[in-house]
Amino acid sequence: YNVKARVKADKTGIDLANVKMAMNPFCEIAVEEAIRIKEAGKATEVVVVSIGDKACHEQLRTALALGADRAIHIETALNLESLHIAKLLAKLVEQEAPELVILGKQSIDSDNNQTGQMLAALTKRPQGTFASVVAVDSGKLQVTREVDGGLQTVELSLPAIVTTDLRLNEPRYASLPNIMKAKRKPLDVVDAQSFGVDLSPRVEVLLVEEPAQRASGVIVSDVAQLVEKLRNEAKVIA
């Protein structure tokens, strides 16, 4: 996320060739929270899942190194929309029957902020989105959510879906021995087609352009000049 994204010259998308990839920061927070819940003795197993091409093995191994027990890779070369991903995850939730599914609130590439809510709808589970505090307590979940006006706490019956906000926790780093151990943890690969979900596109990307460039600004020498410019040149203050 420190990489500045560049639009391809033919305007078909963002140039991802040779760009450094990593786990989405909100997903790191989700993995960390799952591991903390397990460490607190409130979960027995943490399963991490990723959908995409082979490159996501690296992210799954990272999650295993952080403390997840096993990984599932749903393999597809297709460029999936949030609804497709939610449908695939819903099938997996049906198979694995986890009590709690934790996702990041949004991915920082598509910036959609949809998958968790959609998964909650498809699995008919309650949702705790934008979570900054999660407390598991005998079959119930108290989730404090970051909302526009402040914080809101809701109680969800388990099983439930939670999406993480930035302040939920501070993700740990993987230690070298744990990275080595992670290589021996199970990582199952399943073909996305085998789930029987219709993955045909529902949204077509016609064009990806650079945002409008701002005209270059000026450096002013002092406060008096700044105020003068804002009043008389930009006319944004009275």
Partner 1 sequence: MRSLVIAEHEYGVLKADTAKVVNAANQVGAEIDVLLVGHNVTDAAATIATIAGVNNVLVADNAVFEHQLAENVADLVCGLANDYSHIFAPATTSGKNVLPRIAALLDKSQISEITAVVDAETFKRPIYAGNGIATVKSLESQKVITVRSSAFDLPAQQAPCAITALSQGDASNSSSFVSVSQTESVRPELTAAEVIISGGRGMQNGENFSLLEGIADKLGAAIGASRAAVDAGFVPNDMQVGQTGKIVAPNLYIAVGISGAIQHLAGMKDSKVIVAINKDPDAPIFQVADYGLVADLFDVLPALEKAL
Restricted to residues 70-89, the positions that interact with partner 1 (CB under 8 A) are 81-83, 86
Q: Is 154 in the site for partner 1 (CB under 8 A)?
A: yes
Concatenated DSSP letters for 24-74?
-HHHHHHHHHHHHHHHTTS-S--EEEEEESTTHHHHHHHHHHHT-SEEEEE
In three-state secondary structure terms, 234 is coil
Does residue 120 contact residue 126 with C-beta atoms inside 8 Å? Answer: yes
Q: At its nearest, how many Å lie between partner 1 and the CB of residue 70?
A: 27
Quick one: 153 or 193, whose CB is closer to partner 1?
A: 153
Residue choice 10, 97, 205, 232 for contact with partner 1 (CB under 8 A): 205
Does residue 95 contact residue 63 with C-beta atoms inside 8 Å? Answer: no
How many residues sit in the footprint of partner 1 (CB under 8 A)? 81
CA distance 100 to 136: 10
Residue choice 150, 173, 176, 232 for contact with partner 1 (CB under 8 A): 150
Q: Is 18 in the site for partner 1 (CB under 8 A)?
A: no
Q: At its nearest, how many Å lie between partner 1 and the CB of residue 237?
A: 6
Residue choice 40, 108, 180, 189 for contact with partner 1 (CB under 8 A): 108
Q: Is 196 in the site for partner 1 (CB under 8 A)?
A: no
In three-state secondary structure terms, 93 is helix
Which H or E run contains 102?
A: strand 100-104
Q: Is 165 in the site for partner 1 (CB under 8 A)?
A: yes
Binders of partner 1 among residues 113 to 132 (CB under 8 A) are 113-122, 125-130, 132
Pull the structure tokens for residue 53. 């091409």
Residues 38-57, mask of contacts with partner 1 (x by CB under 8 A):
--------------------
